[in-house]
Amino acid sequence: MDKKKFLIIDTNALIHRAFHALPPLTNKKGEVVNAVYGFLLMFLKAIQEFEPNYIAACFDMPGPTFRHKEYKEYKATRVKAPDELYEQIPKIKKFLDVFKISIFEKQGFEADDVIASIAEKTEKKGINTIILTGDLDILQLVDKDTNVYAMRKGIKDMVLYDESKVLERYGLSPTQVVDLKALMGDSSDNIPGVPGIGIKTASELLQQFGTLDNVYKEVSNEENKTSFVSVLAHKSKQTSLVNLTRSFEIKPRIKKLLLEYRKQAFLSQRLAQIKKDVVVDFNLGSCEYKGYNKKEVLDMFQEYGFKSLAERLAAKKQNVLFGK
């Protein structure tokens, strides 16, 4: 028996991606609606692709989060999006209401944290969770029950990430993605990481030692380990074993950087870690996808001037994409 599917939408990520990917489309009132249109394209594509049994949409809320309280420079370098983007968010919420999609958001937390906390609540129910997003930070949530459906380029080129796809992209498991960012940082969120360590070195360190904790244990034990390698090389005739042990040595320059920015690395780890224990008023039954009123949706498409979507809807009879 196939697992039931739960589509969770990282709405703000899609809005930003659509706004910047599409030209500034306007409706009859002269309002910019390109993010609304782009969001609907991705939303409808995901419904058609996965035929979910449950759907939820998660939003960021205005104001600082717990991450800003720990690190006031968090996202400080990010350029504020134009008002035309933020003015489209209520319109998208209106569309979600017509599509009968439950919305979740929590003051002081990001949509990622809300998504992870909702996914955590369904983990033991035998449900396949699919997160629709434009932000690869959320790949850390991928596991045997959770996939990430993300944009690769523009808003039409999509890829479904499972554990093997994450490994293919980074050479790491999803659980290592947080520590990858802890080491290399993230300029888009202004997460500092360890200056001088990029994705290649960070990936190599984690491939060798597994976790950030283990990297720092290795740095702390560097002198003892070097002594051990010398003894092993002297006693062993198996040079391949010696070379394997030597490959675990951290270059002096990298060791110096790691030691100098230790506190910053672990701060970055905390900033990058998505929380899974946010208290959210969530009930899976309220997210059950039962379709929607075709006339109401058609009227809204026509109101916003989405002619292609209206024609597509008018041509459809009852099915999983366009409801009843």
Q: What is the mean pLDDT of residues 179-188?
A: 96
pLDDT in tens, 73-112: 999 988 888 999 999 999 999 999 999 999 999 999 999 9
Q: Are 228 and 283 in a shared domain?
A: no
Element (H, E) at 160: strand 157-161
Angle between helices 212-220 and 252-260 (to 10 degrees): 110
Q: Are 280 and 262 in a shared domain?
A: no
In a domain, 318, yes or no: no
- Token pair recorded at residue 228: 């051990």
**What integer pLDDT is reported at residue 280 of this predicted model?**
94
Cα–Cα dist 80/99, whole Å: 29
Q: Are 133 and 279 in a shared domain?
A: yes
Domain enclosing residue 129, as ranges: 4-171+275-290
Is there a contact between 144 and 123 (Cβ–Cβ < 8 Å)?
no
In the block, which residue shows the tokens 């479904």?
A: 160
Cα–Cα dist 208/217, whole Å: 12
Q: What is the mean pLDDT of residues 14-40?
A: 94
**What integer pLDDT is reported at residue 129 of this predicted model?**
97
**The whole model's pTM is what?**
0.88
Is there a contact between 215 and 209 (Cβ–Cβ < 8 Å)?
yes
In a domain, 316, yes or no: no
pLDDT in tens, 266-321: 999 999 999 999 999 999 999 999 888 888 999 999 999 998 898 877 776 545 45
Q: Are 161 and 185 in a shared domain?
A: no
CATH number at residue 36: 3.40.50.1010
Banded model confidence at residue 164, pLDDT cuts 50, 70, 90? very high
Is there a contact between 43 and 166 (Cβ–Cβ < 8 Å)?
no
Q: Are 139 and 280 in a shared domain?
A: yes
